[in-house]
Structure 1
Amino acid sequence: MTRFLIAVAAAVVGVGTACGGGPPPMYVVADKVTVEADRVTIHGTFIRLKEGKGNEYGAPVEGVVCLGLSEMQGDDCRAEWTQWAKAAGTGRAISVGMCGAGGTLLTVKIHGPGAQPKAADAEYAPGHLGKVTSKQEWAEEPPVKALLAFVKEKKSARTTQK
């Protein structure tokens, strides 16, 4: 029995250690979020970890993602979609996931800016949305700095064009 408890304790500590140092695999600055009965569409700027590259992030990408309702977790999906809607237009980077896990947002297609997807590209996986607060979390992390600088540059370019 003692060996069993030691093995369980070691496994729990090992899992905690494995996830303890992993950054969120994705950050999003949501400009507009449209919530419908069976899907959510997020317009904004996204930055993701590069697959198989450790803690290396890709370049920020402006675009649109469309995710459908998970029938098994509909209430959880809708609750998170409300949080996404609250984050829209705030200019804050919202973290998605932790320790490499982030649900379907990590792999879903990012359509170009202004796209109007006709259908969801994947099912929304709840449980990965970071805190939607007034405080900018992860502000000192390089991918967040790169994302926010990209968003600022895009807004500046749009203002200049008008």
Structure 2
Amino acid sequence: MIPKSSEHVLTTFTPNQWAGRPAKDSGYLFFGVGFLTWLVCLVLMIFIEPLRNFGIMVLVCTLSATLFTIASIVTTVKSDRAFLSGLTETLNEQILEMTGDPSARITSSRLRQMIDLGFSHSLTINGVPGLDLKVAGERFKERQVIATVTAPDYGLESFDLLLRSEEEQSKL
């Protein structure tokens, strides 16, 4: 007899809340900002004489594109970290309710491994193994953190077989 298991959705999140790739499309952003800065420099050449030098114009375009891209990535990283730490705290509260063990916590880095690499995290309930956490769903769609609870197999199947054979013997 296979132990019964049940799945419970603990929380869900969308790619808008956490994508895990803060530098995605940063190349497009860099070149877009660089191009816009180049256009602005062309207009400002009329009024500001040093911008008429090609080297200075390239330097201004590169610096502005770099600074804007770095600022965008830093902002995204901060919001991703804040969301991931909030999600970790929510999960740790639910794990505490399920296990009753305050030391059975997951870290943000472990949760990130679960999300990115598909790892699962096994926990015990009152010292008995049977609780697994995993992240399900496609990368760019809504994802769910699922707790799978599996009843332990204590070898009751052999005891049931023994009872059945004893019942058959008593009928004969």
TM range (shorter): under 0.3
Q: Larger radius of gyration, structure 1 or 2?
A: 2
Give the structure-1-normalised TM-score: 0.23
